[in-house]
Structure 1
Amino acid sequence: MNAPVPTPSLRRPAVHLSGVGKTWTPAGRGPVQALRDVDLDIAPGEFVVFLGPSGCGKSTLLYMIAGLEPASAGTMEADGLPITGPAAERGLIFQDASLFPWLTILDNVAFGLSIGAVQKLKRREIAAEMLRRVGLADMMDKKPDELSGGMRQRAACARALAMRPKVLMMDEPFAALDVQTRAKMQDFLLQIWRDSGASIVLVTHSIDEAVALADRVVVFTARPGRVKTIVPVDLPRPRNPRDPRFHDLRDRFGELLADEVDRAFAEQEAR
């Protein structure tokens, strides 16, 4: 039997982007347009993956949704409200777990709650519960350098989930992990998604990861990044990489990306 998955809501989008663009103005150089005319709605409880060539603005768009970077053009909303900066409702996990090395895992997970003025005892209760949910109950008093890479990423997930986000964003969180650990972390992420009910937005360069995880895959063009197409992934979960339909989708994404990767390389060579 397939495991149940969250059903995207028909309510207003968790994230709404309309005509969004981003232009950088580096010192001593002309303006660089990273993103152009991005239109996208992400439903509550939906799992969306951003896929595209290097330098196409995928991570930049993720940081903009998180409120860490302003848009140069267009409209960005979360749950119907303008995105004007970071908020607890939007959690972000980086490729590097970014844990404080001098704090225990428990205190790392509780850190964000301290900013929100949650009382210390309550912070530790919530942090301990999140660590239990991600399978790190016996690691609470450890420091980050005592954990494996996969454990550190689970701790980073626990820290983000402690804030009870409505949208959880992840920037290639498993790229530095070995193949076996990466597969385990993908399974773990799906469980977190089911349990939390949050929308997840994941940036990856891995076509297999996109097919394995996403409800929809947003394919971006080479810079300036635009939405080339959005492909629904209608395979039942858990997904079997040996399923011919899995292979068909992987081939389709490979074809969609081929020209964009060539364009991205040509631009890099020209610089």
Structure 2
Amino acid sequence: MADGVMAAAHAAVSCRGVGKTWAAGTTRAHEALRGISLDVAPGEFVSLLGPSGCGKSTLLYLVAGLEQPTEGRIDAHGAPVSGPGPERSLIFQEASLLPWLSVWQNVTFGLTLRGASVAERTTVAREVLARAGLSEAFDKRPDELSGGMRQRVAVARAMAMRPKVLLMDEPFAALDVQTRAKMQGFLLDVWHATGASVLFVTHHIDEAIALSDRIAVFTARPGRIKATIAVDMPRPRDLEGQQAIALRRQLTALLQDEVDRAFAEQEALSGAG
């Protein structure tokens, strides 16, 4: 679905002219995002692809309500985003589990803050951990789990809140190639089962192709949307097929100038220091 066609009230997430300047009005001010307009439909999987430092993660924080935009407006299901809400769950690159709690207690930590009973929390924990293939880890501590298992617990913790929008900031970046591929399959299973919308930040072209309905390609800082590419391929996707190869070439060409610009800017900043 093309940006701007869908009415904001019907979008899971709607960004209109969104900009963000960190430390605005100070000598340390820098513009992270400029003029971002993007709609995410209910149940849609959209990836944000771009060079380091282009503001992809910043946009997630704005949609999550952890930060406010300097310009523009963000709505979620027709309501302005003015702060965090349980309908929007953010998953970071690191699992960020509480080491002194068991797996099921970590998964239901948000429900604990809501005042849910132990019976309700254990029921929800068993349900989401079964979906994540982690029933046997119910009473384990995070340090007893592998990296992939900890990240699955983090996804299960987000799903325990039954969000309508799942915001993911390079959640598989620290995993090895094999575990990363398995986690991508797990994420697609969760997405299909829940019907949540997903906004997914990645640096990896193949990961974006494997997962997304659409890919928003970002420019170097200040981040703007250079192009939005639909991925019209059945899942699971053959990344060695001709369609994927053509898409990979298209995305590589779109990103090349932006990566070069971002690298040149970082070199300039290093030289100035």
The TM-score normalised by the length of structure 1 is: 0.95
Q: How many Å separate the matches in 2 of 1:27 and 1:13?
A: 33
Q: Secondary structure at the match of 1:45?
A: coil
Matching residue of 1:69 = 67
Distance 1:21 1:256, change over 3 A: same
Q: How many Å separate the matches in 1 of 2:23 and 2:85?
A: 26
Tell me which of 173, 176, 179 is aligned to 1:175.
173
Alignment of 1:170-209 (within 5 A): 170-209=168-207
8 Å contact from structure 1 (residues 9, 44) kept in 2: no
Instruction: Point out 4+ residue stretches in structure 1 off by more than 2 angstroms.
Output: 8-11, 26-30
Q: Secondary structure at the match of 2:98?
A: coil
Residue identity opposite 2:208 in structure 1: A
Residue identity opposite 1:178 in structure 2: D
Matching residue of 1:35 = 33
Matching residue of 2:80 = 82
Matching residue of 1:53 = 51
Matching residue of 2:3 = none
Any stretches of 5+ residues in structure 2 without a counterpart? 1-5
Q: Secondary structure at the match of 1:228?
A: strand
Tell me which of 228, 235, 248 is aligned to 1:230.
228
Residue identity opposite 2:166 in structure 1: L
1:48 Cα shift?
Answer: 0.3
Bigger Cα displacement from structure 2, 65-74 vs 111-120: 111-120
1:269 Cα shift?
Answer: 1.3
Any stretches of 5+ residues in structure 1 without a counterpart? 1-7
Distance 1:199 1:249, change over 3 A: same
Sequence identity percentage: 59
Q: Secondary structure at the match of 2:163?
A: coil
Bigger Cα displacement from structure 2, 10-19 vs 244-253: 10-19
Q: How many Å separate the matches in 2 of 1:270 and 1:25?
A: 21
Matching residue of 2:248 = 250
Q: Secondary structure at the match of 2:109?
A: helix
Bigger Cα displacement from structure 2, 156-165 vs 10-19: 10-19
Q: How many Å separate the matches in 2 of 1:146 and 1:210?
A: 30
Residue identity opposite 2:263 in structure 1: F
Q: How many Å separate the matches in 2 of 1:222 and 1:262?
A: 9
1:189 Cα shift?
Answer: 0.5
Matching residue of 1:152 = 150
1:27 Cα shift?
Answer: 9.9
8 Å contact from structure 1 (residues 10, 43) kept in 2: no
8 Å contact from structure 2 (residues 9, 77) kept in 1: no
Q: How many Å separate the matches in 2 of 1:135 and 1:169?
A: 21
Residue identity opposite 2:248 in structure 1: R
CA root-mean-square deviation: 1.7
Matching of residue 212 in structure 1 with residue 230 in structure 2: no
1:114 Cα shift?
Answer: 1.2
- Give the aligned length: 264
1:9 Cα shift?
Answer: 11
Q: How many Å separate the matches in 2 of 1:127 and 1:116?
A: 15
1:182 Cα shift?
Answer: 0.4
8 Å contact from structure 1 (residues 50, 202) kept in 2: yes
Q: How many Å separate the matches in 2 of 1:102 and 1:259?
A: 46
Q: How many Å separate the matches in 2 of 1:216 and 1:112?
A: 30
1:270 Cα shift?
Answer: 1.3
1:116 Cα shift?
Answer: 1.9
Measured against aligned partners, the alpha-carbon deviations of 1:106-156 in whole angstroms (never above 9, x if no partner) come to 000010111222222101111111101100000011000100000001100
Q: How many Å separate the matches in 2 of 1:121 and 1:254?
A: 50
Q: Secondary structure at the match of 2:43?
A: coil
Residue identity opposite 1:269 in structure 2: E
Residue identity opposite 1:46 in structure 2: E
8 Å contact from structure 2 (residues 9, 78) kept in 1: no
Distance 1:71 1:263, change over 3 A: same
1:242 Cα shift?
Answer: 1.4
1:31 Cα shift?
Answer: 1.5
Matching residue of 2:22 = 24
Measured against aligned partners, the alpha-carbon deviations of 1:137-180 in whole angstroms (never above 9, x if no partner) come to 00011000100000001100100000000000110000110100
Distance 1:37 1:26, change over 3 A: closer
Matching residue of 1:135 = 133
Q: How many Å separate the matches in 2 of 1:140 and 1:190?
A: 22
